């Protein structure tokens, strides 16, 4: 039994949910999201709650049970509150700026790096912190991870992208040892 999958999902006010076959649509004040769930799982609306269950208990269906429940819960949270990730850029000479639907960055390479902001996401910069927000949790996290992969925080000086609050363990560099004879 899935402990996560057994929990019902509450439907907040102002959220409209439709289930057609294996497709669930969630519409709220911030937008709408669609998701097609696996054929081994069942999603039912009971009053102001959504319940996820499985047809037959196999190893795969048990794994998909909790996953489906969390994906639907994240959709509901996304259309009501939204999601955001914050990454900061540290290092001398490293800069970033939002220009329309692109983020232009100077990351120490011989050329400026420009990244297109995916549809449905917003980006804003305050000093050296880039905030990515949107209603789709997976899209927000994936875009933040792809930006971070451009220049990860290196372990010697800590320069590069890191999530806000992430601790980068610093390594000790080479030590100059005097020649003894």
Looking at the domain assignment, is residue 177 inside a domain?
Answer: no
Residue 79 and residue 27: Cα distance in Å, rounded?
7
Q: Which domain holds residue 21?
A: 3-80
**Residue 178: band (very low, low, confident or very high) from pLDDT cuts 50, 70, 90:** low
Q: Is the pLDDT of residue 179 over 60?
A: no
Looking at the domain assignment, is residue 173 inside a domain?
Answer: no
Pairing of strands 102-106, 113-116: antiparallel
Same-domain status, 70 and 23: yes
Looking at the domain assignment, is residue 170 inside a domain?
Answer: no
Q: Is the pLDDT of residue 62 over 90?
A: no
Same-domain status, 93 and 44: no
DSSP string, 39-67: TTEEEEEETTEEEEEESS--HHHHHHHHH
Same-domain status, 120 and 70: no
The domain boundary, picked from 48, 80, 112, lies at 80
% of residues, the chain, pLDDT over 90: 64
Looking at the domain assignment, is residue 171 inside a domain?
Answer: no
pLDDT tens readout for residues 11-48: 999 999 999 988 999 999 999 999 999 888 989 998 89
**Residue 58: band (very low, low, confident or very high) from pLDDT cuts 50, 70, 90:** confident
Q: What is the CATH number of the domain that holds 142?
A: 3.90.930.12
pLDDT tens readout for residues 112-143: 999 999 999 999 999 999 999 999 999 999 99
User: Helix (H, G, I), strand (E, B), or coil: what is residue 74?
Assistant: helix
pLDDT at residue 1, as a whole number: 58
Same-domain status, 49 and 29: yes
Across the range 90-107, mean pLDDT stands at 92
**C-alpha closest to that of 4 among 56, 60, 73, 59:** 73
Looking at the domain assignment, is residue 20 inside a domain?
Answer: yes
Looking at the domain assignment, is residue 159 inside a domain?
Answer: yes
Same-domain status, 94 and 149: yes
pLDDT at residue 94, as a whole number: 93
């Amino acid at each position: 039994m899935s402990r996560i999958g057994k929990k019902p999902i509450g439907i907040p006010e102002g959220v409209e949910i439709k289930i057609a076959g294996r497709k669930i649509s969630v519409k709220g004040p911030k937008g709408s999201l669609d998701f097609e769930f696996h054929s081994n799982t069942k999603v039912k609306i009971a009053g102001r709650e959504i319940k996820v269950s499985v047809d037959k208990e196999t190893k795969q269906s048990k794994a998909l049970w909790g996953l489906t429940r969390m994906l639907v819960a994240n959709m509901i949270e996304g259309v009501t509150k939204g999601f955001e990730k914050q990454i900061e850029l540290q290092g001398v000479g490293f800069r970033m700026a939002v220009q329309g639907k692109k983020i232009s960055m100077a990351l120490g390479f011989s050329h400026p790096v420009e990244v297109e902001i995916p549809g449905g996401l917003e980006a804003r910069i305050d000093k050296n912190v880039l905030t990515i927000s949107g209603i789709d949790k997976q899209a927000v996290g994936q875009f933040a991870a792809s930006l971070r992969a451009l220049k990860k925080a290196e372990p010697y000086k800590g320069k590069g992208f890191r999530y806000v609050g992430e601790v980068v363990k610093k390594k000790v560099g080479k030590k100059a040892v005097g020649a003894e004879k």
